[in-house]
Chains A and B, each alone.
Chain A
Amino acid sequence: MFHRLAFLIIFLSLNLQAQSIGNAQKIWESSSGAASWRGIVINLVRAGYPFSALPFMKNYLIQNRSAIDSELDEVFEDLIAATGIRPFETLPDNVLGQSRSSVVRYILAKKHFRKARWSQALEEVQRVNANHSIYPYAVHLKAAIHSIQGNNQEARSDYQDCVNYSRSRSNGESNLAKRHQMLANRDMCLAGLARTAFNIKDHAAADLLYLDIPKSSPVWPTILFEEAWNSYYLNNYNRTLGKLVSYKAPVFDFIFNPEIEILKALSYLKLCLYNDVNKTAEDFFSKNMAPAKSLRQFIVSHGSDYNYYYKLATSYEQNKVAKDLLVQNILQSIVKDQAWIEMRAAYLQAMLEFGKIRDSGSSRFNIALMTNIKEVVGHYQILLGSYAQSQFQEKYNQLSTSLQDMSFIKLEVLSRKKQSLYESKSLEGKRGDIKYIDRNEKQYFWDFDGEFWADELGDYVFALGSEC
């Protein structure tokens, strides 16, 4: 019985989609202009052609200065769920600003946010309707702006709202993609709450708040690092080291964060384990110094050649081959990044959509749609390439900063060593027991290959004695 019912639903859905694409074609053939674009967008999105609809929607937003009606708004939401907001961020501010649609305001706010225009971003985001489905994201953005502006109380309140809204909206969301996005938003806001506590140096509270983020969350791997920092500020260096060691687990191979090693070295420094600091530093330098220089040349030589970066990343996705380990690590972190995954998924979806249209005939409407998708696909390629390029730039900056930080840490160790020499003290006085070293060595060089248990990740705690 249920099988029959399911089949019937699918059958009905197909029929409806066929009906919508037909309507869209009719509208396209019968008229032109903003009015027609609205109908085309609605029908195309409903027919499952969001990427074909994307240029029409952008045109509509450019042409139409009034508020988006509820029907279109609902469709727009579905469209964004498929394409993401990035394609709309390229629209001029004045175009986006003229719209009263919550989605558009959110897009505009995000655009201001990216350009560090905090007050404008806040202004736009505050205009988003609380009942709108985009609201949990908007309130997340608002919380972030408050946090950046140092308004911790407001930030905490907004993050809490974000958590609540996201949780409740996710419960009622039947679209799996949307539901996942909503849950991820909830987790990010949970992290925001913890970060806010961190900002006001309430590390004990932050410690508990971080625990609210489930390990299954896609944001957890990056949050683990923040937890490590929080533990550091709680002077719990063994816990910091335990959390950092989790990054050795193979499942975290996509995490590219040179600061992990910095924090590790700092923790050893706090424990006065100078040999370990030196070892960490030397390992870090030997691993990254030369590749960093090479990476810099690489980035300079390819400038803003997004196409190159697009091909580089997608090629890596397929072949898993890179020029060196550092580039491989960065590429791995890019292709495993949520933003990349979303854009890449959209791009693939667009390609599928293109194929579907191509296979359905060569009417003028189909040709027009295919032209649209080509434009979208091209745009996605630029977005992906641009994203990859920016990631390379960012990772290089991180690495460069970390190399400098590591130098400062090393200088600190040298300074202490020198001071102890001046004062005729021994820096290595307390660490003479070979057994002790052996035990630590085991802990230090724990090999996670084949011995990793997902539920233990992030819960490791070292047992090193301070030698201060």
Chain B
Amino acid sequence: MLRYLFYLLLLLSAVSAFALDERRARIIAVINEELAEVTRLSQQRNNRDPELLLRVAELHLEKARLTREDENEKFLELPVEKRRTVNENQYYAGSTRSFQNANQYATAVTKSFPSYRDIADVYYILAFNARELKNYKDSDKYFALARKKAPKGSKTEKKAKLALADSYFNKAKFSKAIPLYESALSGLNESWWTKDAFNLAWSYYRVKNYSKAISLMHEIHKRSGDSKYINMKYFVERDLVSFYVDAKRTNEAVEWYRAQGIDYSSHLIKIIKVQTAQGKFTQAEQLLGEAAKIQTSPDKRIEVLFLQLELSDKYNKIPSHLKAASELTEASLKGRLNSDQIKMLDYQISKKAAETQKAAASPIYKDVKKTRLSRTRQAISYFGLLAKLKPQAKAEPIFFQGETSYAAEQLSESMSYYLRAFEAGKNEKNKKITSQAMEGMLATLGNKGLSPKQADQFYVPVYTAYLKEDPNSARAKIIRQKLFKVYIDRKDFKNAEQVLSDYAQLHPDDFKSQEVMLASLMDDARSKKDFNRFKGFIVQINEGKYKVSKKYGEALRQMMTKIQIEDAQNALDKGDKAFALKSYIRIYENPESTVRAKANAAYNLAALYYEANDLTESYKWGAAALNEMNDAEVKQFSASFLAIGTNLFLRQRFQQSADLNTRTLAKLCKQGDASKNTAFKNASFLWLAEGLIEKTEEVINIGTKCGIDIQTLNEVRIELAKEYQKLSRWESLEAILPPVVASKSQAPLTIIYLESLRRSYAGLGDSQRAMSLGSQILEIYRSAKAKNQDIPVEALDIIAMGLMPKLEQKQSQLDSIVLNFPEDTFNNQVKRKLSILDSLTGDVNEIQKTGSGKGIVRAYKILINSYEKFASELSRFTPEGKSEDYVTSFKKAMSGVWTPILQTALKRRQEVKELIVSNNILSDDNNEMLSPQGTNLVAQFRLQQNLVLMDRGGAQ
């Protein structure tokens, strides 16, 4: 049982090395399984087996220890503040429960099985348990019981004694611990002997029994060489030196350590410290040298160096101090120093840096230049070490390097340090150092001791750095101007431009300075013929980036255009049209060209090609020029564009001509220019000639908006109406006519188209609309007639034909009256017919007034036919049932009636013939009216070969 228990404890000590929570958890899981199993087993035996109960107790104890480990880690992970306030018991609840369980079972064994053979072991567990729960009183009590109950000389007895001894040892009751340790260790010869003996040795030491303590340490050291024992060599070597030192046997200590053949430098160090404290400097220095030689590990080297640092400080041996400090600084950078060591090193270096700097600046060494230089270098080195040591706060030591250099009048070096300090200060956000370093730099730059060549290399970094920190003050404004000048002097125009850019942004109202700066830069661009750059400035001026006076800006823009076109212009002036053409094309195609230059180039190209009679190119560039030019410019050159358009028309490039005219019209839209109407008409007629009705409509729309006069607009509308009529686009026709109908002078022109519409509506059965249109036609006609306005012949024909039904009705009426007797009836019938003929004659006169040739001929035709027919009817009438005489008489009498009627008819026929001829009337009825009475000539058509039918545009 005891074997198991000790094995358990051994394992538990191993557990403390566990880093993995997971493994601990797994072990606890296994323990839980064991507990379940042992508990089950114990219950099977009715809990009457003390072995099993003890086993349960042991398992609880084991679990408690592991749980406590875990709880400890978790508790220590808490922030210190929280750890102070938190209820510690909560964190240790798990382990406490397990300890209590272990206690419960172990106590149960002691009560129920007091004579159990392994009862001492149970007490041992209880003791151990109590110790874990920090119940040291109970722990000691149980250890004592374990010791008492355990068989004499048994392991349990010895272990109990050792535990009690440990307890006394921990309570610093060394006198009580010593006999227990001695008794327990006397017969014990196991691996733990060295460890327990080590405590005994310390107990001897504590009661100042140095001789026994040292002697036992030697024995422990010796046995530790045997693998049978726990190796305590390290601890013996670590502590023995203290024993020797306190025993004032340092020489023996050195001898002993030398005899071990180990690196005893750390032990020497302890001795050196004692010797230093005792004022034995020479000896200490010698041992230090020895320690430096024998040390083998970096840690020990560090310890030696620190000691050296302290000694050098005390002796004021700056070179050796600096050397040690340098090496320690390097070690620190490699992470080999702990925080205390770093603090110490910082203190030492800071202290020496201050001392050497003070010395360097001291008037004492003013005339001892060599010493002064030496101190300066040392101070700089120390500050350098400080900068290395505290990379996160290096600005200040670097600044001090600068200050030291400045004080020693090493201005170039001081500039470098100031600059570095400045940058570091910025990184560290240390405004104080940043500011001081800048002032230092400016002061150094202003120091006459700094050669111009040296100063020159610092201007840019210093000014730039300054401006970054203070971009917008009055001082910054001056520094920026200076910086601009530095760049210009160095011909670094790129950076100069950047300075200008910043300047313009920060000081926008300072026109004058900006103009001066711009002038420098633009002069450079112009002299290099870098027009893009030049133009860039202008663009930026235009965009408002740079503020210049209006006059200056305009001058620059003109200069730009001039620059761009001057070569082409020169070539043109010299008659080198080919070069001029190429130049203009280049200008036009160059994206960097100004708009004006491009417009100019395009116009000139159009003009040149026009002159060269190159229609395609002249059209192309004319269009381009119209595109680039503003309205005023187009107005200025409108004649040229119309000329190019006309030329295109003449060369039958109707569409191009139309397009150019349309573009011209659009540009002239807002301009009060006569050419506008020309362009309008040209464009619309040309589009119409090309049959492009939509384009024409578009031009009309433009014209309407651009203030083309109504007369001109209506002319185009009438032309368009003609096209609509031709294409039977009745709705479009109806839509376009109203403005013309509304025109007082041009309304008669619409009659033809209104008539077409009227017929269209009539054809569709919309007699109401047709009648309305008829009324409108008559109204226009009458109004025009009244005003004596010109009415188109076709319109007159229409009006006349409109009156014709009335005549035809009367002719029918005439025909319907059939002559017959008695005589009175006959006489009345003749009277009626004569009356109708008279009325008909009146109608013909009315038609004649319309002036329609076709109407007049047709009216005459009806009248003549009516006369002739009535005359014929009278001549051929023979009264029935009358005597021959009567008939003869009657015929004779009638001859006097019908003859004049026939003569009148002939007279009328003559009249109409004259009218036809004199008025060049072309009418379908001409044939009938011109042929001799009673003859019918048949119309003949002759087809001539090689005739070409053409439309209005002249196209076939």
Distance of A255 Cα from B45 Cα, bound (Å) = 26
Interface flags, A402-418, vs B, CB<8A=1, else 0: 01100110110011011
Instruction: Please tell me if the beta carbons of B41 and A414 are within 8 angstroms of each other in the complex.
Output: no
Interface flags, A373-413, vs B, CB<8A=1, else 0: 00000000000000000000000000010011001101100
Contacting chain A: which of B23-31, B202-210, B514-522, B754-762? B23-31
Instruction: Please tell me if the beta carbons of A414 and B34 are within 8 angstroms of each other in the complex.
Output: yes
In the complex, B803 has a CB within 8 A of chain A: no
Q: By the criterion of a CB under 8 Å from any partner CB, how many residues of chain B are at the interface?
A: 16
Known: A417-B30, A418-B31. A407 touches B15 (CB 8 A): no
Contacting chain B: which of A143-151, A359-367, A419-427? A419-427
Distance of A404 Cα from B39 Cα, bound (Å) = 11
Neighbouring B residues of A419 by C-beta, 8 Å:
11
Neighbouring A residues of B14 by C-beta, 8 Å:
422-423
Instruction: Please tell me if the beta carbons of B44 and A403 are within 8 angstroms of each other in the complex.
Output: yes
Interface flags, B2-41, vs A, CB<8A=1, else 0: 0000000001001100000001001100110110011011
Instruction: Please tell me if the beta carbons of B41 and A408 are within 8 angstroms of each other in the complex.
Output: yes
Identify the interface centre among A404, A417, A422: most chain B CB within 10 Å of its CB. Answer: A422
Known: A411-B37, A411-B38. A418 touches B44 (CB 8 A): no
Q: How near does chain A come to B57, taking the closest CB pair, in angstroms?
A: 15
Q: How near does chain A come to B168, taking the closest CB pair, in angstroms?
A: 30
Distance of A407 Cα from B49 Cα, bound (Å) = 14
Q: How near does chain B come to A143, taking the closest CB pair, in angstroms?
A: 35
Q: Which of A410, A417, A418, A423 contacts B37 (CB 8 A)?
A: A410
Residue of A nearest to B30 (CB): A418
Instruction: Please tell me if the beta carbons of A404 and B33 are within 8 angstroms of each other in the complex.
Output: no
User: How many pairs of A and B residues are in contact by the CB < 8 Å rule?
Assistant: 37
Q: Which of B27, B34, B41 contacts A422 (CB 8 A)?
A: B27
Neighbouring B residues of A423 by C-beta, 8 Å:
14
Neighbouring B residues of A422 by C-beta, 8 Å:
11, 14-15, 27
Residue of A nearest to B11 (CB): A422
Q: How near does chain B come to A148, taking the closest CB pair, in angstroms?
A: 26
Neighbouring A residues of B31 by C-beta, 8 Å:
418
Identify the interface centre among A400, A403, A415, A421: most chain B CB within 10 Å of its CB. Answer: A421
Distance of A404 Cα from B41 Cα, bound (Å) = 6
Instruction: Please tell me if the beta carbons of B23 and A421 are within 8 angstroms of each other in the complex.
Output: yes
Instruction: Please tell me if the beta carbons of A400 and B34 are within 8 angstroms of each other in the complex.
Output: no
Interface flags, B43-84, vs A, CB<8A=1, else 0: 011000000000000000000000000000000000000000
Instruction: Please tell me if the beta carbons of B44 and A421 are within 8 angstroms of each other in the complex.
Output: no
Distance of A417 Cα from B37 Cα, bound (Å) = 14
Residue of B nearest to A405 (CB): B41
Instruction: Please tell me if the beta carbons of B44 and A414 are within 8 angstroms of each other in the complex.
Output: no
Neighbouring B residues of A404 by C-beta, 8 Å:
41, 44-45
Neighbouring B residues of A424 by C-beta, 8 Å:
23
Q: How near does chain B come to A310, taking the closest CB pair, in angstroms?
A: 30
Residue of B nearest to A278 (CB): B33
Q: How near does chain B come to A399, taking the closest CB pair, in angstroms?
A: 11
Q: How near does chain B come to A109, taking the closest CB pair, in angstroms?
A: 36
Which B residues, 467 to 497, have Cβ-Cβ distances below 8 Å to chain A? none
Instruction: Please tell me if the beta carbons of A421 and B26 are within 8 angstroms of each other in the complex.
Output: yes
Instruction: Please tell me if the beta carbons of A418 and B34 are within 8 angstroms of each other in the complex.
Output: yes
Distance of A418 Cα from B15 Cα, bound (Å) = 11
Distance of A223 Cα from B14 Cα, bound (Å) = 48
Q: How near does chain A come to B9, taking the closest CB pair, in angstroms?
A: 12
Instruction: Please tell me if the beta carbons of B26 and A415 are within 8 angstroms of each other in the complex.
Output: no
Neighbouring A residues of B34 by C-beta, 8 Å:
411, 414-415, 418
Q: How near does chain A come to B921, taking the closest CB pair, in angstroms?
A: 122
Neighbouring A residues of B45 by C-beta, 8 Å:
404
Distance of A423 Cα from B14 Cα, bound (Å) = 8
Q: How near does chain B come to A401, taking the closest CB pair, in angstroms?
A: 10
Instruction: Please tell me if the beta carbons of B30 and A421 are within 8 angstroms of each other in the complex.
Output: yes
Distance of A411 Cα from B31 Cα, bound (Å) = 10
Instruction: Please tell me if the beta carbons of A407 and B41 are within 8 angstroms of each other in the complex.
Output: yes
Q: Which of A407, A410, A411, A418 contacts B27 (CB 8 A)?
A: A418
Q: How near does chain A come to B35, taking the closest CB pair, in angstroms?
A: 10
Instruction: Please tell me if the beta carbons of A407 and B26 are within 8 angstroms of each other in the complex.
Output: no
Distance of A419 Cα from B15 Cα, bound (Å) = 11
Residue of A nearest to B39 (CB): A407
Interface flags, A113-152, vs B, CB<8A=1, else 0: 0000000000000000000000000000000000000000
Distance of A150 Cα from B1 Cα, bound (Å) = 30
Known: A418-B27, A421-B23, A422-B27. A407 touches B44 (CB 8 A): yes
Instruction: Please tell me if the beta carbons of B33 and A414 are within 8 angstroms of each other in the complex.
Output: yes
Interface flags, B222-240, vs A, CB<8A=1, else 0: 0000000000000000000
Residue of A nearest to B15 (CB): A422
Distance of A380 Cα from B40 Cα, bound (Å) = 41
Distance of A422 Cα from B14 Cα, bound (Å) = 7
Q: How near does chain B come to A303, taking the closest CB pair, in angstroms?
A: 20
Neighbouring A residues of B38 by C-beta, 8 Å:
407, 411
Instruction: Please tell me if the beta carbons of A414 and B30 are within 8 angstroms of each other in the complex.
Output: yes
Known: A421-B23, A422-B15. A407 touches B30 (CB 8 A): no
Q: How near does chain A come to B429, taking the closest CB pair, in angstroms?
A: 49
Known: A400-B44, A421-B30. A407 touches B23 (CB 8 A): no
Neighbouring A residues of B11 by C-beta, 8 Å:
419, 422
Distance of A411 Cα from B38 Cα, bound (Å) = 8
Distance of A39 Cα from B572 Cα, bound (Å) = 173
Q: How near does chain B come to A347, taking the closest CB pair, in angstroms?
A: 37
Instruction: Please tell me if the beta carbons of B37 and A414 are within 8 angstroms of each other in the complex.
Output: yes
Residue of A nearest to B34 (CB): A414
Residue of B nearest to A418 (CB): B30
Distance of A423 Cα from B15 Cα, bound (Å) = 9
Residue of A nearest to B38 (CB): A411
Q: How near does chain B come to A411, taking the closest CB pair, in angstroms?
A: 5
Distance of A433 Cα from B23 Cα, bound (Å) = 24
Interface flags, B802-838, vs A, CB<8A=1, else 0: 0000000000000000000000000000000000000
Identify the interface centre among B26, B31, B44, B45: most chain A CB within 10 Å of its CB. Answer: B44
Residue of A nearest to B33 (CB): A414
Distance of A403 Cα from B34 Cα, bound (Å) = 15
Neighbouring A residues of B26 by C-beta, 8 Å:
421
Which A residues, 82 to 109, have Cβ-Cβ distances below 8 Å to chain B? none
Residue of A nearest to B40 (CB): A407
Residue of B nearest to A289 (CB): B40
Distance of A116 Cα from B414 Cα, bound (Å) = 113
Distance of A408 Cα from B45 Cα, bound (Å) = 13
Known: A400-B44, A403-B44, A404-B45. A421 touches B37 (CB 8 A): no
Neighbouring A residues of B44 by C-beta, 8 Å:
400, 403-404, 407
Distance of A410 Cα from B40 Cα, bound (Å) = 12
Q: How near does chain B come to A403, taking the closest CB pair, in angstroms?
A: 6
Neighbouring B residues of A410 by C-beta, 8 Å:
37
Q: How near does chain B come to A45, taking the closest CB pair, in angstroms?
A: 51
Distance of A422 Cα from B45 Cα, bound (Å) = 30
Neighbouring B residues of A407 by C-beta, 8 Å:
37-38, 40-41, 44
Q: How near does chain A come to B117, taking the closest CB pair, in angstroms?
A: 20
Neighbouring B residues of A408 by C-beta, 8 Å:
41
Residue of A nearest to B32 (CB): A414
Distance of A334 Cα from B31 Cα, bound (Å) = 41
Distance of A404 Cα from B49 Cα, bound (Å) = 12
Residue of B nearest to A285 (CB): B40
Distance of A423 Cα from B26 Cα, bound (Å) = 13
Q: How near does chain A come to B703, taking the closest CB pair, in angstroms?
A: 95
Neighbouring A residues of B15 by C-beta, 8 Å:
422
Which A residues, 43 to 82, have Cβ-Cβ distances below 8 Å to chain B? none
Distance of A419 Cα from B23 Cα, bound (Å) = 12
- 15 A–B contacts, CB within 8 A, in A order: A400-B44, A403-B44, A404-B45, A407-B41, A410-B37, A411-B34, A411-B38, A414-B37, A415-B34, A418-B27, A421-B23, A421-B26, A422-B15, A422-B27, A423-B14
- 3 cross-chain pairs, A with B, having the tightest CB-CB distances, nearest first: A407-B41, A418-B30, A414-B34
Which A residues fall within an 8 A CB radius of B?
A: 400, 403-404, 407-408, 410-411, 414-415, 417-419, 421-424
Given contacts A404-B41, A404-B45, A422-B14, 4 further A-B contacts (CB under 8 A): A400-B44, A403-B44, A417-B30, A421-B27
